[in-house]
């Protein structure tokens, strides 16, 4: 078999990473929305307490002390527990919060100042909860995409359709939970960043800056601090996405018996000076270590790797591509990834489309599914998510109210009405009795919802 020039693999590999990076834009957009929402909520809470006392000029030290030392009512405490119970779905975060707030004595010793701190803390924990949810969706997708696309690229590059194992949920979970840099995983890092933010807002900012400041000034300072938090969250998504993409590549190398890989620092040659020394160096897959010889080497790293084939690998893959009759299964040079994945990727990685002939309906309530959605289950049987199922964790990811351009908005405006800028792309989660899906659709407030897609099916 003719050797494929190195440039081919490098391009494949950097294209793969660019593709994955592009999808983080949606996640980052959702993060911007949820951070803004949390900032608004915190500022509203602060105004509620202070606006009666200070409209413009801020409070005197004496007035402030009096106000903040007032004992809070038990209603506050009950509300707080209710919020934890209703809004925190992540078991880990819930456990930590209940340990902190569930002490019976707690209700009797809280001052208004403490109450305000708690409200900020809980608001931020709600944020951590959502941040974990939406970034996890991205990482699971990144791992699958990194693994399957890399195998696709190698099959296409070599022109042969060898056998390979599917990624299973256990492997994905293992990778998600694995602690890497600083003995932490993505979820630990979200928690740490969130704790820092919470401490900063509820102690330093409130305690030191309340006196003599107008609510407007305080609210601007809170916005600034929250923006720092958002910056950390964004950097975390970019870095962890690079981590999961490269780890998924390592999994695919292992699966294909490829023992060595080459470090590729092509994406950011200028800015990535940390990685210049590693560029083109070859390492053993078994010894790959993120942060040392496998990307990411530093925050926001955009480096990647390519497989180092030797003759044994290629012979072995050719052997694996032979069917029972001894014939080598070939892969067409024209095959597109979408086609390939429908054939080779597992069920939960496929995308499901609703029957487009179903009648159009107008939007009634945003959290209700108005159509019955069809999908194929793991034994290939057509199944349905019933009409009126509840969609939770809904976010707008493009179009109206976001910074992201919704490219097909025009098409929807022409077909169904309204202006292009009023259309938006939304995502959410839906639970059937057996599965949890991610669901995507296109929506106009007046002209309804269209083109539902189900993605990322996981068993409950």
Token look-up 């003599």 returns: 212
Q: Which is nearer to Zn ion, 20 or 167 (CB)?
A: 20
Distant-in-sequence contacts of 43-47, Cβ < 8 A, 24+ apart: 43/219, 43/222, 43/223, 45/116, 45/119, 45/120, 45/123, 46/116, 46/215, 46/218, 46/219, 46/222, 47/215, 47/219
- Please identify the residue of the shown chain whose CB is closest to the bound Zn ion: 275
- For the record, the structure tokens of 176 come out as 């998600």
Interacting residues with Zn ion between 297 and 326 (CB under 5 A): 301, 303
Task: Give the closest residue to 239 by CA, choosing from 194, 186, 191.
Answer: 186
Q: Looking at beta carbons only, is 20 or 275 nearer to Zn ion?
A: 275
Stretch that binds Zn ion, among 264-272, 367-375, 396-404, 444-452 (CB under 5 A): 264-272
Distance between CA atoms of 343 and 347, rounded to whole angstroms?
A: 10
| CA separation for the pair 83, 93 (Å, rounded) | 13
Q: C-beta of 248: minimal distance to Zn ion in Å?
A: 17
Of 272, 317, 354, 430, the one binding Zn ion (CB under 5 A) is 272
Residue closer to Zn ion (CB basis): 275 or 317 = 275
C-beta separation of 400 from 423 below 8 A: yes
C-alpha angle 61-62-64 in degrees, rounded to nearest 5:
65
Q: Which stretch binds Zn ion (CB under 5 A): 97-105, 135-143, 266-274, 329-337?
A: 266-274
Stretch that binds Zn ion, among 115-123, 152-160, 214-222, 270-278 (CB under 5 A): 270-278
Give the footprint of Zn ion on residues 30-59 (CB under 5 A): none
Report if residue 249 touches Zn ion, rule: CB under 5 A: no
Which listed residue (275, 294, 369, 454) binds Zn ion by CB under 5 A?
275
Tell me the site size for Zn ion, rule CB under 5 A.
4
**Pick 273 or 446: Cβ nearer Zn ion:** 273
Nearer to Zn ion, 303 or 397 (CB): 303
Which C-beta is closer to Zn ion: that of 303 or that of 321? 303
For Zn ion, which is the closer residue by CB, 197 or 290? 290
Residues in the chain: 460
Tokens representing 298? 């530093």
Within 8 A by CB and 6+ apart from 419, the residues are 413
In the complex, least distance from residue 266 CB atom to Zn ion, rounded to whole angstroms: 9
Residue 274 beta carbon to Zn ion: minimum distance, rounded to whole angstroms: 6
**437: β partners:** 430
Cβ 301 to Zn ion shortest distance, Å: 4
- Distance of closest approach, residue 295 Cβ to Zn ion, in angstroms: 6
The label of the residue with tokens 């903040």 reads 68
Please give the residue ranges that form the binding site for Zn ion (CB under 5 A): 272, 275, 301, 303
């Amino acid at each position: 078999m003719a050797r494929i020039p190195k440039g081919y693999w490098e391009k494949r590999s950097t294209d793969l990473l660019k593709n994955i990076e592009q999808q983080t834009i949606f996640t980052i957009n959702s993060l911007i929305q949820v951070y803004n929402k949390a900032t608004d909520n915190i500022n509203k809470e602060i105004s509620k307490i202070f606006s009666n006392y200070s409209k413009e000029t801020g409070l005197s030290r004496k007035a402030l002390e009096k106000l903040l030392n007032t004992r809070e009512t038990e209603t506050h405490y009950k509300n707080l527990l209710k919020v934890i119970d209703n809004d925190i779905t992540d078991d880990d975060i819930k456990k930590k919060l209940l340990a902190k707030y569930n002490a019976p004595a707690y209700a009797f010793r809280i001052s208004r100042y403490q109450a305000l701190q708690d409200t900020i803390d809980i608001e931020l924990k709600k944020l951590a909860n959502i941040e974990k949810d939406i970034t996890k969706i991205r990482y699971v997708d990144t791992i699958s995409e990194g693994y399957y696309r890399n195998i696709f690229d190698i099959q296409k590059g070599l022109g042969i359709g060898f056998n390979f194992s599917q990624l299973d949920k256990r492997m994905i979970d293992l990778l998600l939970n694995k602690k890497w840099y600083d003995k932490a995983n993505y979820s630990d890092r979200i928690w740490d960043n969130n704790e820092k933010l919470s401490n900063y807002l509820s102690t330093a900012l409130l305690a030191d800056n309340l006196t003599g400041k107008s609510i407007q000034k305080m609210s601007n300072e809170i916005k600034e601090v929250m923006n720092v938090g958002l910056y950390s969250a964004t950097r975390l998504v970019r870095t962890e996405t690079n981590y999961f993409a490269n780890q998924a590549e390592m999994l695919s190398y292992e699966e294909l018996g490829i023992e060595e890989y080459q470090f590729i620092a092509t994406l950011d040659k200028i800015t990535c000076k940390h990685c210049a020394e590693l560029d083109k160096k070859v390492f053993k897959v078994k010894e790959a270590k993120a942060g040392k010889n496998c990307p990411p080497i530093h925050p926001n790293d955009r480096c990647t790797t390519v497989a180092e084939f030797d003759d044994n690998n290629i012979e072995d893959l050719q052997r694996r591509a032979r069917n029972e009759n001894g014939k080598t299964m070939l892969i067409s040079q024209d095959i597109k990834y979408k086609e390939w994945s429908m054939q080779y990727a597992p069920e939960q990685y496929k995308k499901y489309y609703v029957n487009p002939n179903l009648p159009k309906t107008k939007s009634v309530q945003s959290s209700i599914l108005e159509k019955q959605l069809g999908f194929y289950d793991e034994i290939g049987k057509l199944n349905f998510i019933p009409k009126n199922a509840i969609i939770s964790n809904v976010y707008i990811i493009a179009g109206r109210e976001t910074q992201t351009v919704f490219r097909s908005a025009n098409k929807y405006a022409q077909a169904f009405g309204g202006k292009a800028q009023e259309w938006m792309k939304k995502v959410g989660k839906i639970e059937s009795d057996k599965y949890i899906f991610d669901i995507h659709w296109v929506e106009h407030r007046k002209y309804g919802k269209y083109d539902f897609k189900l993605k990322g099916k996981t068993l409950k």
